[in-house]
């Protein structure tokens, strides 16, 4: 009995890459659109949480707010803080920094910068209580949840001195994450 040989079938196995390319393009588009390429106004900070905080509406037109970040110095090969890295409350004054538009400031240099910000946008009318034109800028204080209150006080005090009176303090809403 002779066995039949199965007919040889030549199959051309090719990988169809087109759907994958489509998906890759969509992914690329998503990541490109969500990428934050602007100048970093916000530092990476763990904000204090408050359930009563309201998300402020986005400003239309000209941006009249400026953000002061108060945060702990980042760990680096040359700098470590044993207290903060273990979740403790660091109270070393030199470890806490102020930053505006990614630029770091000290207690002494912050006032000059706030003065510039204040003068850059003044209210049109002279205020009757102070007899001067107050700043139209809104200052947002974004302080780390463990930041010493004295540093926030310092910013508020400097704002009062340079004529910025519109102040907002940032907090994260735990119900809105």
Partner 1 sequence: MAGASIGDNEENPVAINVTAMVDVIFCLCVFFMCSLHFREMEGKFDTWLPKGKGSQGMPSEGIITEIRVAVFWDEAKQQAVRMLGTRVIQDDEDLQTRIKSAYDDFVRMNKPDVPVTIDAHALVPWSAIIDIVNICKREHIEKIEFAMGAAPPR
- In the complex, which residues of this chain contact partner 1 (CB under 8 A)? 14-18, 20-21, 24-25, 27-28, 31-32, 34-36, 42, 47-56, 70, 88-89, 91, 127, 129-130, 134, 140, 143-150, 152-153, 156-157, 159-160, 164-173, 176-177
- C-alpha separations of 124 from 95, 99, 119 in Å: 40, 28, 12
Nearer to partner 1 by C-beta: 88 or 116? 88
Smallest gap from residue 55 Cβ to partner 1 (A)? 4
**What phi, psi does 31 have (nearest 5°)?**
-65, -35
If the CB atoms of residues 11 and 36 are measured against partner 1, the closer one turns out to be 36
How far apart, in Å, do the first and last CA atoms of the chain sit? Answer: 76
**Closest C-alpha among 143, 146, 40, 141 to residue 85:** 146
Minimum CB–partner distance for residue 63 and partner 1 (Å) = 15
Name which of 1 and 108 has its Cβ closer to partner 1.
Answer: 108
Classify residue 113 by its DSSP letter: H
Q: Which is nearer to partner 1, 16 or 78 (CB)?
A: 16
| Nearer of residues 43 and 104 to partner 1, judged by Cβ | 43
Q: How far is the CB of 5 from partner 1 (least distance, A)?
A: 28
Tell me which DSSP letter residue 76 carries.
B
Least distance to partner 1, CB of residue 98, Å: 13
Report the nearest approach of partner 1 to the CB of residue 85 (Å).
15
User: Is the distance from CB of 54 to CB of 26 less than 8 angstroms?
Assistant: no
Cβ atoms within 10 A of the Cβ of 70, count?
A: 20
> DSSP secondary-structure letter at 176?
G
Contacts of 51 (CB under 8 A, 6+ apart): 173, 174, 175
């Amino acid at each position: 009995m002779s066995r039949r040989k199965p007919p040889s079938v030549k199959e051309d196995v090719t990988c169809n890459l087109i759907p994958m390319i489509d998906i890759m393009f969509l992914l690329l588009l998503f990541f490109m659109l969500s990428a934050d390429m602007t100048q970093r106004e916000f530092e990476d900070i763990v904000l204090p949480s408050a359930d009563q905080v309201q998300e402020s509406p986005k400003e239309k037109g000209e941006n009249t707010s400026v953000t002061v970040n108060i945060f702990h110095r980042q760990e680096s090969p040359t700098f470590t803080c044993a207290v903060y890295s273990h979740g403790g409350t660091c109270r070393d004054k030199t470890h806490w920094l102020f930053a505006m538009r990614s630029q770091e400031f000290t207690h002494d240099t912050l006032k000059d910068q706030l003065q510039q910000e204040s003068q850059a946008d003044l209210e049109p009318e002279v205020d009757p209580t102070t007899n001067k034109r107050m700043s139209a800028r809104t200052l947002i204080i974004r302080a780390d949840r463990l930041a010493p209150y004295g540093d926030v006080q310092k910013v508020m005090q400097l704002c009062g001195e340079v004529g910025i009176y519109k102040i907002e303090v940032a907090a994260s809403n735990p119900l809105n994450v």
